[in-house]
Amino acid sequence: MSNQYTVLYVEDDPSSAEILRLYLAQADMQVVHFDNASDAHRALQNLTFQLAILDVMLPGGDGRELLKEAVARNIPTIMVTAKVSETDRLEGFELGADDYVCKPYSPREVISRAKALCKRSYRGQQSAALLFDGLSINLESKSVTVTQQTPALTAVEFELLLAMAKQPQQVFSRAQLIEQVWGSDAPITDRAVDTHLANLRKKLGDSKAEPKFIATRYGQGYQFIARKVSS
């Protein structure tokens, strides 16, 4: 990766932090580490990051507040926490986390997920857009425009939308979406997919009852239904 990614890493446990910092450095990522929420908050305001890896329970604040700030700045984010329940993971996804790793974890797994998330978020695209009735998807800037607004999508939300929009009218099962966006071996649940799609719909101003863009096909999955228009 040639040091092209600068990572905000927030972890208050010294031994865990040192190990993951070494692994991140070996993966050619530049690491800016903090052991408390206050310093990390100031860094988010003043520095530029391509990835954030955040613990939830932190001195001086809550990692979930840092998560919301990172999402607002369009920084792909991995949450790392000892909280292992599905409810806790879904809460992280609802706040905009792109991935979630539970302690104890393998540093190699975190690095693998970090690389995959960066690849999804920043891989090169030709300057082009997919145009639909009421919606445009810019492949270069990884942004969308809907009703003259540009909602801030997380990396996962954008990839979910793009996966479906590339094949409009096809019904995607949750398993197919997991394979396309996260990879078939990712520990992502169906409920997590539903949570990400609910967030995406809300940002697009879409309605589950009367959808313009993403329709739910009960017992089957999801379908992108917007009409494609010429560029």
Q: What is the pLDDT of residues 48-67, one digit of tens each?
A: 888 999 988 888 777 888 88
Give residue 4's pLDDT: 65
3-state percent breakdown (helix, strand, coil) of the chain, nearest 5: 40, 25, 35
* Mean pLDDT, residues 191-214: 91
Q: What is the pLDDT of residues 180-199, one digit of tens each?
A: 888 877 778 899 999 999 99
* Buried-state track 202-221, b at ≥16 Cβ within 10 A, e below 16: ebbebeeeebbbbbbeeeeb
Give residue 200's pLDDT: 94
Residue type, 119: K
Going by C-beta distance under 8 Å and a sequence separation of 6 or more, which residues neighbour residue 182?
A: 99, 116, 156, 188
Cβ 98 vs Cβ 154: under 8 Å? yes
Q: What is the pLDDT of residues 115-171, one digit of tens each?
A: 888 877 765 444 477 888 888 888 877 889 987 788 888 888 999 999 999 888 889
Please give the C-alpha separations between residue 114 and each of 29, 111, 120, 194, 226, in angstroms, as whole numbers. Answer: 10, 5, 10, 22, 32
Residue type, 26: Q
* Mean pLDDT, residues 66-85: 83
Give residue 84's pLDDT: 64
Residue 204 CA to residue 147 CA, distance in Å, equals 9
Could you tell me the pLDDT band of residue 201, with boundaries at 50, 70 and 90? Answer: very high
Give residue 1's pLDDT: 41
Residue 90 CA to residue 187 CA, distance in Å, equals 13
| 62 vs 9 pLDDT, higher one | 9
Please give the C-alpha separations between residue 22 and each of 107, 134, 143, 145, in angstroms, as whole numbers. Answer: 9, 46, 33, 40
Packing angle of the helix pair 155-165, 107-122 (nearest 10 deg):
60
Q: Decide if pLDDT at 76 tops 60.
A: yes
Mean pLDDT estimate for the chain: 85
